[in-house]
Amino acid sequence: IKTICNSLENQEFCFNKWDTQIALESKEFETPKSIYLSHDLFWAERSNKSIIKNPYKELIFIKLQNMTFPVVIKSLTGFSSYGMDVAKTFPEALHFLNQKSGNEDKIIQEYKDGLHFGLEIYGDQENFEVLPPFLFTLNKYGITSPKQSIKIGPFNFDDEKYHEKLQLSRLKKDMEKLWKTFRFSGSIQVDLVFSEGKWYIIEINPRLSGMTLTYSALKNSNPQELMLKSLVDSNNFPKNQNITLCNLKIPVLSKADFEKLAQNPMIKRIFQIDNKLAKQKRDVGFCEIVFEAKNYCELSKVLELQALPNENTFFQDFLAK
């Protein structure tokens, strides 16, 4: 069966965050300054008591001192922000690194203070579409959390209101270059930060993502049709609707509450995962809701923002304007 999807090589370099970093740097994409930390070398003295001084660890500390804080410390293969630490100072970073829990290699990355966005790209090397970005809210640590983050958008590439302020034409060119350079195929999701006039690539996910339901709502379609038409019927790829959307997740609802909420005319999509066999609270599931409005002002009234998480004041200030 002929398939159209990302190569195993592309999946691997996106899976390993350090490989992603090296690949992006080699092709001159903007990405935060990072350090690779080998767990075995960092703790070499554990397995060899004759080691009095560990030059590898000392070099890591020197490199760390030369970074701009805060920094993000994360596993090479972590996902959904699990196991991620944000260190605001050098002593705090040392505290995280010297903890003896865990045995995985890590990547230490400078934190970019700015606006956090995400987008998806669909197609093959001949025909593909870069979908307009959505803004993400942040948690109290200053990072996006897939099960808590609120997404709002889209910020259309041809919208003059945000075009210059967010350098959207530059973003689109960068994403087209990214797709062609690494010969992606099928779909990818890209996490981005817009900081001091530059777009930084934080992570690439070569698959459908937590944004797919929102994009299918934007195109008045469904995820399956979105993928199928982008690949085999690109000339009839669903068009973006002129609407404003907000995606948020809430705890699992009862069947009655779910059906009642689904009748709300402002809800464009509603979807629920309920894992009754989950052993951890984070794996129980969630209800994902996509609200629709004509514009950001109407959306703010619909959602009554004072009832939503207030961890990201920019999000609320933006909607208030």
**What pLDDT shows up at residue 234?**
66
Q: What is the pLDDT of residue 180?
A: 95
How far is CA 118 from each of CA 59, 63, 279, 281, 288, rounded to the nearest angstrom? 34, 30, 30, 26, 17
**Whole-number pLDDT of residue 154:** 94
| DSSP letters spanning 117-151 | EEEEEEE-SSSEEEPPPEEE---TTSS--TTT--E
pLDDT at 317: 55
> Which residues, 6 or more positions from 122, have their beta carbon under 8 angstroms from its beta carbon?
128, 129, 131, 186, 187, 226, 227, 230, 231, 237
What pLDDT sits at residue 314? 47
CA atoms within 13 A on the CB side of 204: 27
Q: What are the angstrom distances between the C-alpha of 113 and each of 68, 154, 209?
A: 11, 21, 24
pTM: 0.87
What is the mean pLDDT, run by run of 10 residues, along the chain of 321 residues? 82 92 95 93 82 88 94 79 80 86 86 93 88 88 75 89 84 96 93 94 91 92 82 76 90 89 88 82 84 82 54 49 46
Rg (CA), the chain: 21
Write down the pLDDT at residue 306: 41
**pLDDT for 80:** 54
- The span from the CA of 83 to the CA of 73, in Å, is 9
